[in-house]
């Protein structure tokens, strides 16, 4: 890993053997990006942003309908949260530019930023679980994070969102 501003959970590996190509893949909870050792910090930043964009397109949630989101939220509520959450509605919105999702706790109505249409399904699942937990745990307490952390691949999703927000999330 270099000393640049690469976000946590995106590991950049410089290789003297690599001359021009950039590669990214998931390794456990991390995205590992391999770049030529000769790249400048500016070239690295551009290459990482570009390859993360390509990676997200491969694993996109772009065609997920609101009906699919509601089915997924119900399934996650039962499987991950033991049915504790209140689910009202769930929909994509275009007016959330600084957060990934929001929830009206008394009705269980969830809004997901349409920026998430371009991320892997496990990332959307983690945001859904996060918002569902708000319906039965107040605030971002330790208990809240314990429940939200039960989402499938929660840590990987957290790293992805951190990288996506910095490098590719409009």
Domain 66-168 homologous superfamily, CATH: Metalloproteases ("zincins"), catalytic domain (3.30.2010.10)
Per-residue pLDDT of 66-90, as tens digits, reads 888 999 999 999 999 999 999 999 9
**Residue 124: its pLDDT value, please?**
94
pTM of the model: 0.64
**Residue 130: its pLDDT value, please?**
97
Cβ-proximal residues to 120 (8 Å cutoff; 6+ apart), any chain: 56, 59, 60, 61, 160
18 — phi, psi (to 5°)?
Answer: -80, 125
Residue ranges of domains in the chain: 10-58, 66-168
Most confident of 39-43, 81-85, 115-119: 81-85
**Residue 5: its pLDDT value, please?**
32
């Amino acid at each position: 890993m270099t000393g640049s501003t690469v976000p946590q959970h995106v590991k950049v590996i410089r290789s003297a053997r690599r001359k021009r190509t950039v590669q990214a893949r998931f390794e456990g909870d991390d995205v590992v990006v391999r770049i030529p050792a000769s790249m400048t910090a500016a070239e690295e930043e551009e290459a990482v942003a570009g390859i993360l964009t390509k990676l997200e397109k491969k694993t996109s949630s772009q065609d997920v309908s609101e009906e699919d989101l509601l089915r997924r939220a119900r399934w996650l509520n039962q499987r991950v949260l033991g049915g504790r959450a209140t689910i009202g509605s769930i929909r994509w919105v275009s007016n959330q530019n600084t957060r990934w999702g929001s929830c009206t706790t008394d009705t269980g109505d969830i809004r997901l930023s349409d920026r998430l249409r371009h991320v892997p399904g496990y990332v959307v699942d983690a945001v859904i679980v996060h918002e569902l937990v708000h319906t039965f745990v107040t605030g971002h307490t330790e208990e809240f994070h314990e429940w939200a952390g039960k989402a499938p691949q929660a840590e990987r999703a957290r790293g992805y969102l951190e990288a996506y927000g910095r490098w590719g999330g409009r």
